[in-house]
Structure 1
């Protein structure tokens, strides 16, 4: 797969301009910061509350923005032109993901600062957060490929935002409802499990299992997104 930094940069700048012009999308980046401020004012300084804000930032910012940017391309009928351009699959996916990854990094870091979360092991948490960003970008890409307009994108992404933002809250019910225990393996839940493990004496497996789970979700989602993308090229 040929990767061209020039093409990646061009796609990156194109997404930046579209993001800055579309206030309906760009203002969504402020929502997690507002929620983080509200949670901080409630005085509920627990790991669960910290990561409720962080997971919401991933869903509302990463998935939503990525989905809307791709949906806008389809709505303007420019995605097909991009697909038929000399840009490779890698150029397009990296270029369209890089901007959202940078925005996500800034918003998540600001959210963590606002809620006052100070992880015991910043290095491991930083790796887990970056892997989570990769997964949510893949999820946003997948959702965007199934939509035809920004309006559809706003609707299709709602279940994703609810499931992955509030999925960890279901962990409290897993002991009484076995079906809810499935939510334990969501990337958002595994991020919370990892953070809680790092606050106490933890083993290597306490770190490996959550990170491996997030990586597995990312790989599967990107593979499906790549398959759907190639199918869209020939439909």
Structure 2
């Protein structure tokens, strides 16, 4: 167990150094903070705007940062060596996710503070954001594994950023375009729905369905990441 923790933390420390050295990636942290400060200054109280900032944080930091860190490993030809090291699949994936996870959590907290968002049930919203971070880390890990460079990852992440940051607004058009009703079940839309439910006094008993849907997405993407990662281990 101690060796496993040491290997995981060693990977975390290396990724943290890579993150701080890569200004292109690390500067993205300020985008959601800037928007949160701007909306907070303007006195924006709309939950749609609050959760747009949250979803933007999840895509820009959790997904993009994660994909860039892994793609950079591939670009430097160091990911293969890591795969062949004594570290197991879980140790590598967890170690390479810690930086993105911690930064995402910190930015979400600061964004909520800057925009003045104080949910009635902070525990439920916190649980939903925690699971959402894991989902977007899975997206980022998957994109990092299938791309070959940071620049390529930056291009591939753009549709993901637009889709998961703003598709919740498509639900408002579902009456005119029934096909858009499918967007209601996306994790970002469920997060917005949960925010409105909490505003109306919902607790865990009322919000479990949205939390369960986000968790199901997270489990699905995690299984896909493990499958792709193990395939990459045997690819020449």
Q: Which residue of 2 aligns with 1:29?
A: 29
Rounded Cα–Cα distance in structure 1 between residues aligned with 2:154 and 2:119: 33
Rounded Cα–Cα distance in structure 1 between residues aligned with 2:180 and 2:42: 27
Structure 1 length normalisation: TM-score? 0.96
Q: Which residue of 1 aligns with 2:109?
A: 109
Q: Which residue of 1 aligns with 2:192?
A: 192
Structure 2 segments unaligned to the other structure (5+ residues): none
Equivalent pair of 1:3/1:88 in contact (CA under 8 Å): no
Rounded Cα–Cα distance in structure 1 between residues aligned with 2:18 and 2:201: 46
Structure 1 segments unaligned to the other structure (5+ residues): none
Structure 2 length normalisation: TM-score? 0.96
Rounded Cα–Cα distance in structure 2 between residues aligned with 1:48 and 1:200: 15
Q: Which residue of 2 aligns with 1:76?
A: 76
Rounded Cα–Cα distance in structure 1 between residues aligned with 2:61 and 2:37: 16
TM-superposed deviation, 1:2 = 10
Q: Which residue of 1 aligns with 2:175?
A: 175
TM-superposed deviation, 1:39 = 2.3
Equivalent pair of 1:3/1:91 in contact (CA under 8 Å): no
Runs ≥4 in structure 1, deviation > 4 angstroms? none
Equivalent pair of 2:44/2:115 in contact (CA under 8 Å): no
Alignment of 1:9-158 (within 5 A): 9-158=9-158
TM-superposed deviation, 1:98 = 1.2
Q: What do the CA deviations read for 1:15-72 (whole angstroms, capped 9, x no partner)?
A: 0000000000000011111111222234331111110111100111110000000000
Equivalent pair of 2:11/2:95 in contact (CA under 8 Å): yes
Q: What's the C-alpha RMSD, in Å, of the aligned pairs?
A: 1.5
Q: What do the CA deviations read for 1:186-231 (whole angstroms, capped 9, x no partner)?
A: 1111011011011114376631111001100001001001100000
Q: Give 3-state SS (helix, strand or coil) of 1:157's partner.
A: helix
